[in-house]
């Protein structure tokens, strides 16, 4: 079953959202990186009553305001790291955190291009994080032999500036390691690569609607 107005999105194509919502009792949806607003559309489609999203680009905020008139959609303009600090303290769980605020061409020089490690560090200290679901996009830019989603440097997305895209000094385990005592960790080898952290012991099976770049598979990391 598709989501109206959404052609392709990781939360539809790669992740079994209904199963996560049901088995983890998710109440709120928190997103970094709005772009066209498809993440918000997915969250509303699956019945989240509280949706929070941020972007550093004012035009993305304004576009989302025109697209969504729901009073339960809260949009914030600014740095995703500060947004996650606020959400971690304010939002009651269990919540789904969809982290996708990477490589904003329009403002990268001002705030840094890959805030994900800082966002995850904030969430690790969140009270009740062991009940939250955390999903991170763009694992294709994390180097390491243990990462089958790593994009080749010859790919047109990064060929012109590979050092900007590939995150030197960062590994997959550096991202998920702090959550090893509270979450089961999966790497979804589909599209741009998705890191999925679900509360420890959750019975979960992945959902793959599309086969875009390669045969999809879900790898258990921990």
Quote the tokens at residue 177. Answer: 């390691």
| pTM reported for the whole predicted model | 0.90
pLDDT at 109: 46
User: Among candidates 120, 127, 68, 69, which has minimal Cα distance to 97?
Assistant: 120
Question: What is the Cβ-side half-sphere exposure of residue 190, based on CA atoms within 13 angstroms?
Answer: 23
In angstroms, the CA 151 to CA 180 distance is 25
Non-local CB neighbours of 83 within 8 Å, separated by 6+ positions: 32, 54, 76
pLDDT at 4: 67
What the chain holds in terms of domains, given with CATH numbers, is 10-137+172-220 (3.40.50.150)
How confident is the prediction along the chain (222 residues), in pLDDT tens digits per residue? 577 667 667 788 888 999 999 999 999 999 998 988 899 999 999 999 899 999 988 999 999 999 998 778 999 999 999 999 999 999 998 999 999 877 655 444 444 578 899 999 999 999 999 999 999 988 888 888 778 877 776 767 666 666 777 788 889 999 999 999 999 999 988 767 899 999 999 999 888 765 554 555 888 999
């Amino acid at each position: 079953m598709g989501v109206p107005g959404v052609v392709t999105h990781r939360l539809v194509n790669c992740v079994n959202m209904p199963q996560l919502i049901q088995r983890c009792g998710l109440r709120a949806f928190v997103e970094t990186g709005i772009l066209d607003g498809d993440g918000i559309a997915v969250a509303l489609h699956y019945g989240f009553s509280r949706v929070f999203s941020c972007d550093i680009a004012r035009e993305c905020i304004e576009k989302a305001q025109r697209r969504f008139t729901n009073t339960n959609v809260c949009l914030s303009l600014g740095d995703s790291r500060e947004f996650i600090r606020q959400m971690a303290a304010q939002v009651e769980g269990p919540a789904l955190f969809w982290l996708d605020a990477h490589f904003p061409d329009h403002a990268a020089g001002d705030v840094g291009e890959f805030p994900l490690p800082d966002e995850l560090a904030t969430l690790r200290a969140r009270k009740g994080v062991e009940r939250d679901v955390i999903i991170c996009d763009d694992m294709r830019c994390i180097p390491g032999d243990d990462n089958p989603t790593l994009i080749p440097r010859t790919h047109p997305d990064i060929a012109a500036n590979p050092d900007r895209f590939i995150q030197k000094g960062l590994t997959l385990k550096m991202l998920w390691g702090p959550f090893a005592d509270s979450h089961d960790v999966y790497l979804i080898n589909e599209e741009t690569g998705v890191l999925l952290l679900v509360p420890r012991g959750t019975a979960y099976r992945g959902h793959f609607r599309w086969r875009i770049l390669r045969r999809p598979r879900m790898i258990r990391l921990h």
